[in-house]
Chain A
Amino acid sequence: MAELAAVIASTHHPFYYKTSQLPPKDRPPFAEEWITKIERFRQTLTAAEPDVLVMVGSDHFHQLWLDNMPQFLVGKAPFFDANWYNEEREFGLPRMLLRGEEDLAAHILRDGLDRGFDLAFSNELRIDHSITCPIITLRPQADLPIVPVYTNIFAPPLPQPRRFVQLGRAIREMVESWESDQRVAVIGTGHLSLELGGPRQFGEHGPDPEFDRKAVDWIASGDIDSCLAEVSLESLHAPGNATHGFMDFMLMMGVAANRAGEGQKADHVETVDLFHTMEAYFTWYPDGVPEREPDGRLSSAASSASEERSESGGEQ
C-alpha cells in the first residue's frame, strides 16, 4: 500500500513568486524573512521524499463557475495546465504544466464515492494559484505528478466545516489504501483571517489577529475538537470576508489526524506576519520525522519528531 509521507498545510500567497524573483536590492523589507521561512518549509517536503502529491485547493472562479458549481472535485487527467490570464496579470504567475497521477485520482474517486462523498470530477482542468503557489514554494521544480482536489470555500452555499474535516480524514485513509508502493504527500492551502474586496482589506496586518492566533494554535496542536466547536459557516464571516478559506486548513487537520481520527501536533510550524495577512506553514509526518540511515535509505524515527517540533515550533 502507498505510504503517507507528509501532510502539509499552508496559506497560498500569490505574491510570493514575484517577491522571490526580485533581485535582492529591489525586494521589500519583509522579503528576506519570508523567503528564508519558505526555504525551510520546502525542506520539510524534500525530506519526506514524495513520489506523488495530492494537492488540495480551491478554484477562484477560473474554471468552476456558478452555472455548474461542484462542492468537492477531483482532477483526473494525464496533465494539468496551470495559472490563468488574470493571475499572470495581477500576480505575475508563470504558466505551468504538471503531470497528473490518474491511478490515484481514480482510486480516490471510486473509494470516495463508496465512503459517501459524492465527489465531482474533471478530465480537463486548468489549475489555479491555490495549487500552483504551494508547488512554487514547496516543489519549484514541479517534477512530481499530482492529484488536484478542489473544495468550494468561495461560492455559497458551502459545505459545513465538519465536512471538510471528514473529507480530510477520508483522504488519509484513501491514500493509505491505494495499492501502490509510492510515497504520497498531501498538501493543502487555505487562509487565516482574510478580507478581499471589503473595507478591511490590505490593512497593516490580517483583519483579525486574534482569530489568526487561535487558528494557528488549533492547527499546530491538532485541536480539531476546539476548532469545530468554535468555527461555523456563520462565525467565519467575522474575521474577514474571505476567511472561509480556513476550512481547507480544517481539511488538512483531518488528513493529519491519526487512524482513530484524532488531530495531531504538527512537526513544523512557522508563521510570517505580512502587511495584510498572516502566512502560516505546517508539516506533519504521520510515521515520524524522516531520517537518513548511514547507507542513505530513508527511515522513520518518531523520536526525532519532538526535537523538530521544539526547534521550529517556537516561532509560532
Chain B
Amino acid sequence: MSRYLLDKFLYTVDRDPELVERYREDPAGTVAWWETERANKILNCVDAEDSTWLGFTEEERRALRTHDHVTLFELGAHPFLTLTLFIAMFEHDHEPLGYVKAYAQRMSHIQLPYPDITT
C-alpha cells in the first residue's frame, strides 16, 4: 500500500497543465512513464538525489490507469487531490454541477467510516 505515492501522482499531475491533458488522453502510458521517471523524484531535489524505493501496487496502478476515482477513494488517496484533478480532466464535458454530482453518485455505496487517508 502506497497512499503517499498515489497522492504524489495526483499532486504532481494536477499542478502541471501538460500532464493533466496527457493523463486524460493516455492514462496507461502516463502512469507507466510517471512511475519510471517521476515516482522517485524528491520534489525540489536534483536527479542524482532521487529516492530508490517507491512503486505502486498493481491495484493502485490499475486504478490510476483506468481513471477509477471510486477505487482511488477506497485505497485512501486524498479525496481533495482526486476530485480536483478529475474535475480538471472531465468537468468541461458536462452541464454545471453535472460531473461532480455523477462523481458522488458513483460512490453512493460507500459508508462511514471512510478509508483512512493518513500517509
**Residues of A bordering B, CB below 8 Å:** 60-62, 65-67, 84-86, 89-90, 154-157, 196-203, 237-238, 241-242, 275
Contact = CB atoms under 8 A, between A and B. Distances in A.
Contacts of A86: 14-15, 84, 88
Contact of B104 (A62, A84, A198): A198
Contact of A155 (B78, B101, B113): B78
A260 to B, nearest CB: 36
B34 interface: no
Contacts of A200: 104
B81 A61 contact: yes
A90 B14 CA distance: 11
A62 B84 CA distance: 12
B107 A199 contact: yes
A85 B108 contact: no
Given A90-B87, A202-B97, A197 B14 contact: no
Contacts, number: 78
Interface of B: 4, 7-8, 11, 14-15, 17, 42-43, 69, 73, 78-84, 87-88, 97, 100-101, 103-105, 107-110, 112-114, 116-119
A203 B100 CA distance: 10
Contact of B118 (A89, A90, A156, A275): A156
A197 B15 contact: no
Contacts of B7: 66
A275 B96 CA distance: 13
A15 B117 CA distance: 26
Contact of A202 (B80, B104, B114): B104
Contact of B107 (A157, A198, A203): A198
Contacts of A67: 42-43
A67 B4 CA distance: 9
